[in-house]
Amino acid sequence: MRRRTFIWSLPVIGSTGLFSLNGCGGGGEETVVKRTGPSEAGKSFIVNPTPLNPQNVHEVLANTNDGEEVVVIGRVGGRVNPWVKGLAAFNFVDVSKLACNEDCAESCPTPWDFCCVPDLKENRILVQVPDASGDPIAEDAKSMLGLLELDTLVISATVSKDDNGNVILLLSQASIK
């Protein structure tokens, strides 16, 4: 009986050990962040299954026109605080870019800021969740949509591009991967 218990426990101990090796800093304590939400207002924006044939953020920035409907894959991040305070908006980074804790270039307390990515400007876009009149909803996107930093999302959105070339994605649906 002991042997059977030991054999069953070994994979559990082994997998726990693997989790403790993640990250570049080594030796630091990991904080477990609990997902909350989505809120009642956010539930209508979260969908399953995932929209098909998403483009990367850099492709949307380079190749789309104002008013175009797109499906985009990316990750929440691109700034130390990727959330726009008081509004349903957040920064979204191309999935081809590695967060600082994934490329192990250095220890980083905020890997979602992608500070190690030299061409971040060409790979980051602002996503807003609009109300019926097209204005950003006055609720924090993190709690409204139940998101966390570095979440990978596939979103359906409308491109909003101004005369200066600034691009915002107006989210209509999101699927958390």
Write out pLDDT tens, residues 75-122: 999 999 999 999 999 999 999 998 888 876 567 888 899 988 888 999
Rounded Cα distance, 24 and 142, in Å? 26
Rounded Cα distance, 17 and 84, in Å? 36
Predicted pLDDT at 174: 96
Tell me which DSSP letter residue 164 carries: T
Rounded Cα distance, 43 and 137, in Å? 14
Q: Which residues of the chain have pLDDT under 50?
A: 1-30
Which string of b and e fits 49-59 if b means at least 16 CB within 10 Å?
ebbeebbbbbe
Predicted pLDDT at 25: 43
**Domain 36-176: assigned CATH number:** 2.40.50.200
Taking the CA atoms of residue 123, residue 124, residue 125 and residue 126 in that order, the dihedral angle to the nearest 10 degrees is 170
Structure tokens, 107 = 């220890």
Rounded Cα distance, 98 and 82, in Å? 16
Domain extent listing, the chain: 36-176
